[in-house]
Amino acid sequence: MSNESAYARAGVDIEAGERAVDLMKAHVAATRRPEVLGGLGGFAGFFDASALGKYRHPVLATSTDGVGTKVAIAQAMDVHDTIGFDLVGMLVDDLVVVGAEPWFVTDYIACGRVDPNRIANVVKGIAAACAKAGCSLLGGETAEHPGLLAPEEYDVAGATTGAVEYDEILGPQRVQEGDALLAVASSGLHSNGYSLVRKVLLADAGWTLDRHVDELGRTLGEELLEPTTVYASDLLALVRQVEVHAMSHVTGGGLANNLARVLPDDLVATVDRSTWTPAPIFTLVQQVGDVSQPDIEATLNMGVGMVVVMPEANISEAIEVLAGRGLSAWQCGHVSRRGGPDEPGAVLVSSHSRS
């Protein structure tokens, strides 16, 4: 009779999971903030809440997300140490737009079979992104789902928690007529619209990930796996130096839909698309897939990862601050009074586009 356990015969390798934890410990330890109590491997992670004592009126902020079908690209290319930037970017940058400092992240990895090195590489990327954002990777879970996922398949998700002063929360309540819109460049597609991109370029056009694309200056796979920019620490630094009223994280739904979420009902934003030229990947998807301008704008970030709403007098200083932190930014529009109830939408995109 086999010495293999019944659980192992069912496809779950407990020992492989334990090896994965051992391999990831150093990566997790590198993200440790002074408020973190205990180590990796317990049933729960601990974060010393006395840190709230430095706030006058603390408000906790939380966000949860995943990376969508971009994981299929990581799996196909067998590159697993960058997808963590996509996860953390989707999490912490939803906190920073309200002015909150992210404190910690927890992750969840579901896989068909635990490959300790693969899982450790995924966590390595998550930890590196947490370090970039200034938060701790407090804990997580790796779950083996044989029969539900193929042995090489996995998915990642996570959650983050942070804090902000009540009277410093950014959002529609601060936005004013005459404010300017500051666009902050994305590093590419980030982690949204991959179902469209994969259908257009891989399924319909039949392109392969190892295909060198002259317009991109590299292979298609390298372009599609480009990590999401993690803005949190840089935008928090901006908020500390320059007056900011609101910020919009440009993710699923595109620039206009996400910008509309931070505008009060009586104001409208006008975005001037002639102020920037999207990177080649955006034009490529549109042209190869014959995707209409409204569809592409409503799906992809078109080269803008964040929009900061602020007094126009502060734009030059903000651009300088972000440039000093390695981020490209430019004024892309303004906020004005809504013309009337029949005015279409909260965000108007000018028609004189260079894309």
For the chain, domain boundaries: 10-168, 172-349
The confidence score (pLDDT) of residue 43 equals 77
The confidence score (pLDDT) of residue 355 equals 35
Instruction: Give the Cα separation of 255 and 181 in Å (integer).
Output: 12
The yes or no reply on domain 10-168 and CATH 3.30.1330.10 is yes
Instruction: Give the Cα separation of 354 and 194 in Å (integer).
Output: 24
CATH class of 172-349: alpha beta
The confidence score (pLDDT) of residue 347 equals 76
Q: Which residues of the chain have pLDDT under 70?
A: 1-21, 23-25, 40-41, 340-345, 349-355
Cα 73 from chain centroid (whole Å): 16
The confidence score (pLDDT) of residue 24 equals 63
Q: Full-prediction pTM beyond 0.85?
A: yes
Q: Tokens 């990777």 label which residue?
A: 137
Contact 124, 92 (CB under 8 A): no
Backbone angles phi, psi at 67, to 5 degrees: -120, 5
| Four-CA torsion 20, 23, 28, 29, nearest 10 degrees | 140
Reference 218, options 280, 277, 286, 278; nearest CA is: 280
The confidence score (pLDDT) of residue 84 equals 97
The confidence score (pLDDT) of residue 354 equals 36
